[in-house]
A and B are shown apart, each in its own frame.
Chain A
Amino acid sequence: MKLLKFGAVGALALGLASTAALAEYPERPINMVIPYGAGGATDISARTIAEPLGQAVGKPLVMANVTGAGGATGSVAVQNAKPDGYTMLFARVGSHSVNPAMKATLPYTLDDFRFVTVYEINPVACAVRPDSGIESMDDLIAKVNEGGVSFSSSGVGSLLHLAGVMVLREFGVENPLDAATHIPQKGGGEAATAVLNGTATFICTNSSALASFVANDQLKPILITTKEPVVGFDAPTAADLGKPNLHQLVGWTGIAGPKGLPDDVADKWGKWMAEAVDAGDFREKMESRGSVIELMSPEDANAFIKSQYETFRALVDDLGMRIEG
């Protein structure tokens, strides 16, 4: 009886809430879901932008880490939220282009989200142990052809997994899945450790994740996938080696809402982001950590992600890497 009454009142409140939503957005704090753990690359990036962004928005941003399943758990939480702009997601390359390309079982597709921006690009670097005798990509490929080469990743369907395969493929290895062994680890830190302790031969991941190991001479970079070289990484770029296809292989962070996000909300986010990236020392801080700040409008962001997804998807289908079960 009590419950019934509450139900009725709840329904009434729902009606009120939807009229109230017409008022100026945002009228209350916005929940920002980070689908990865605290202290990780996404988390740090998100919390760094949150400061200037919160000032631009004018309402508090409540940051919530919802981790699990390579970013899927948090993404689903936003996918199922009301598209009123009060629940937004920090989307990442892993959760929103590699995962959808590789996993048929993923409970969401790219079409379930509306991207309002991509604000950060992370170059990808490949590295090996300095005492491995591998000095360049050519050495690595020669080793691969001999056999016994392995690479580590932070899990199936992570950027690291796809990056390892894609790089080998671009450098002429016919079937990278057979030629090299993929040794998945539980996270990015573990993946780097696996190369350090000799479990795996090489790793391809965001340059920021490798920066400390490279600076400490624990790992030697042999490739950067961007056009421009990365500070601190003494390695040829994909452009130097004549592999322009690899420019698609970069990490990024963006913000997305659920599918039905209204246009005016998306526009507001575009405006806020423009303010936020130029405010204070945000750009400087991010660039010192190895990121490239590149603000995209909602349309550009969608196109960028779509094209990266298509590239990855083609590779995955080509090699039969798609996970069906």
Chain B
Amino acid sequence: MSLMDSILAGLSLVGNLESFLALFAGVVIGTIGGAIPGMSATMAVALTLPFTFAMQPITGILMLLGVYKGGIFGGSIPAILIKTPGTPASSATVLDGYPMAEKGEAGRALGMALWASCTADVISNLSLILFAGFLASFALNFGPPEFFTLILFSLTIIAGVSGRSLLRGAFSAMLGLLLATVGLDLIYGTNRFTFGNPNMMGGLNFIAVLIGLFAIPEILSMVWDPKGNDGTARKLGRNWVTWADYKASFRSIVRGSFIGVFLGSIPGIGAAPSAFLSYSEARRKSKNRDNFGKGEIEGVAAAEAGNNGVAGATLIPLLALGVPGDVITAIIIGAFMVHGLQPGPMMFIMNVDIIYGLFIGLIVSSVFLFFVGSAAIRGFRYVADIPRGVLVPGVLILCVYGVFAVNNNIFDVGVMFVMGWVGYLMMRNEIPAAPFLIAFILGPLLEDNFRQSMLMSGSNPLILFRGPITWFFWGLTAITVVAIVRAGYRATRQLRKREARAADAR
């Protein structure tokens, strides 16, 4: 069957109103679900799954993909407006999006988030269509040792999001790593810091920690100083993102998209680390470096490109290998199973119409995302106009509902509250929260892959140097660490000089 035939077969499958309606509905559900903190893209997909059982296979799967894409974008809306990532992947968007909203540029930040998301989405989808086979076989070369080195490298992101003091960022990361050890041990199944509480055996819920760390400290600082924030009415600004903004950030968007494609095609990493990596790379390369973290639009663009770049690419291991790349695709694979479809290499031969149908649907989904996203921004941006005295308690209630709904567990609400106080203490002491979060995500992966490698090799550490992939990441890590140390050294020297000059002047 030629390519043209395949495309036609795919088109005949999805070329009906029902499929497009499902896809559109999916994007709408996802955008709204993603915009509700705690609800998150994952939950939105999980909640939609049962409804797709009754649909045609392709229709149901398209709907779920729409929810996924919409959710990843939707998460950026509350991240920008109320400093609460609607979905873990949009945590990196908070770093610059919220300061922009504070400055009255919420509309611009949201617009850029949408444009970057759609661009990354298109790049990601095209990568899926063009390179699925290649990237999938590449991903199969990733065993535990390769993962270990990749994650070790990813941890260097911490330097990029630490703000002014690298050591405080490192301290924050240590706290995240330590907290991630709570739960059952992977290899022996013994308890670590669980205190016999069954709710802690599964580890602390990631979304509860995330929302506790970002949203609750905002509420507490409002409680500490009710007047301080009330005065600055945050005009959401009629301003919209401009073509010049987009052009200026274009390099970061493309870079972020490819980071997303790469990390997305390797099962097991997910969108949040990708967004952070894209953000820290953009910061390293940008000439507006010093403005990052204070409301730099390029930061928003990079973060959103990084997380949406993952969305299409996670389908690569799913379709080509039948392996879920993250939590969301693990749910979507359930939809394939329900309909008796068996994703994997054979599907490209046996069900080529479905594959191409999905491809067509994915491309259309980027377009839908653009329109639904624009409408959502127009609807949601009035949140910025709500008086803080009403908004803050509202956010509190919303977070409680959302965090409960993630795992139907009241304990998680408690985790959120406690993490809120930890986050508030950190905020008061200018300890950045982002390294905590990155460490909390990557820490368990680092440990597990290290120990799996040791199991494989009978505790021979040389396995961590097997093959070119490990060497590549070891090299990359070394280069990055040297760069960080040099930058730190230079900054200290400049500080010295300035101090010396100040002393002379006195």
A–B direct contact (CB < 8 Å): yes
Q: Which residues 126-148 in B have Cβ within 8 Å of A in the complex?
A: 140-144
Interface size class of A (residues with CB under 8 A): 35 or more
Q: Which candidate, B271-279, B341-349, B418-426, B483-491, is the interface stretch facing chain A?
A: B341-349
Q: Quick check: B408 and A48 within 8 Å, CB to CB?
A: no
Is the CB of A66 closer than 8 A to any CB of chain B?
Answer: yes
Chain A nearest Cβ from B142, distance in angstroms: 7
Q: Quick check: A216 and B189 within 8 Å, CB to CB?
A: no
A182-205 contact mask (Cβ, 8 Å, vs B): 1 or 0? 111111011011101111000000
Q: Which candidate, B106-114, B150-158, B179-187, is the interface stretch facing chain A?
A: B179-187
Q: Which residues 443-475 in B have Cβ within 8 Å of A in the complex?
A: 448, 452, 455-456, 458
A26-68 contact mask (Cβ, 8 Å, vs B): 1 or 0? 0000000100011110011001101100000000000111111
Q: Quick check: B456 and A33 within 8 Å, CB to CB?
A: no
Q: Which candidate, B190-198, B237-245, B290-298, is the interface stretch facing chain A?
A: B190-198
Secondary structure at the A interface, as helix, strand, loop or mixed, is mixed
Please measure, in the bound complex, the distance between the C-alpha atom of A155 and the C-alpha atom of B187, giving whole angstroms. Answer: 8
Q: Quick check: A208 and B337 within 8 Å, CB to CB?
A: yes
Chain A nearest Cβ from B344, distance in angstroms: 3
Chain B nearest Cβ from A264, distance in angstroms: 27
Q: Which residues of A contact B323 (CB under 8 A)?
A: 189, 192-193, 196
Please measure, in the bound complex, the distance between the C-alpha atom of A212 and the C-alpha atom of B143, giving whole angstroms. Answer: 21
Q: Quick check: A69 and B184 within 8 Å, CB to CB?
A: yes
Residue from A47, A50, A76, A183 within 8 A of B455 (CB atoms) = A183
Please measure, in the bound complex, the distance between the C-alpha atom of A68 and the C-alpha atom of B202, giving whole angstroms. Answer: 4
Query: For residue B346, which residue of chain A has the nearest CB?
Result: A216
Q: Which residues of B contact A130 (CB under 8 A)?
A: none
A67/B407 contact (C-beta < 8 A), A186-B448, A211-B342, A215-B346 known: yes
Q: Which residues of B contact A47 (CB under 8 A)?
A: 49-50, 53
Residue from A44, A190, A218, A323 within 8 A of B321 (CB atoms) = A218
Q: Which residues of B contact A181 (CB under 8 A)?
A: 455-456, 458
Chain A nearest Cβ from B187, distance in angstroms: 6
Please measure, in the bound complex, the distance between the C-alpha atom of A213 and the C-alpha atom of B343, giving whole angstroms. Answer: 8
Residue from B142, B335, B407 within 8 A of A39 (CB atoms) = B335
Please measure, in the bound complex, the distance between the C-alpha atom of A249 and the C-alpha atom of B302, giving whole angstroms. Answer: 50
Q: Quick check: B322 and A150 within 8 Å, CB to CB?
A: no
A198/B143 contact (C-beta < 8 A), A72-B201, A107-B196, A218-B321 known: yes
Please measure, in the bound complex, the distance between the C-alpha atom of A150 and the C-alpha atom of B140, giving whole angstroms. Answer: 18
Query: For residue A182, which residue of chain B has the nearest CB?
Result: B455
Q: Quick check: B324 and A67 within 8 Å, CB to CB?
A: no
Please measure, in the bound complex, the distance between the C-alpha atom of A187 and the C-alpha atom of B324, giving whole angstroms. Answer: 10
Is the CB of B57 closer than 8 A to any CB of chain A?
Answer: no
Interface size class of B (residues with CB under 8 A): 35 or more
Chain B nearest Cβ from A96, distance in angstroms: 14
A189/B324 contact (C-beta < 8 A), A37-B330, A72-B201, A199-B143 known: yes
Centre residue among A38, A190, A211 by max chain B CB count within 10 A: A38
Q: Which residues 339-373 in B have Cβ within 8 Å of A in the complex?
A: 340, 342-347
Please measure, in the bound complex, the distance between the C-alpha atom of A157 and the C-alpha atom of B201, giving whole angstroms. Answer: 13
A156/B184 contact (C-beta < 8 A), A72-B198, A289-B340 known: yes
B-side interface residues toward A, CB under 8 Å? 45-46, 49-50, 53, 140-144, 183-191, 196, 198-199, 201-203, 205, 267-268, 321-324, 327, 330-338, 340, 342-347, 407-409, 448, 452, 455-456, 458
Given A65-B46, A182-B455, list of 4 further CB < 8 A pairs?
Answer: A155-B189, A156-B189, A193-B323, A325-B190
Q: 29 A-B Cβ contacts within 8 A? A: A37-B46, A38-B45, A39-B46, A39-B332, A40-B334, A44-B337, A73-B199, A73-B201, A76-B199, A107-B196, A150-B456, A155-B189, A156-B186, A156-B189, A181-B458, A182-B455, A183-B452, A183-B456, A184-B187, A189-B324, A193-B323, A196-B321, A197-B142, A211-B342, A217-B345, A217-B346, A218-B344, A218-B345, A323-B189
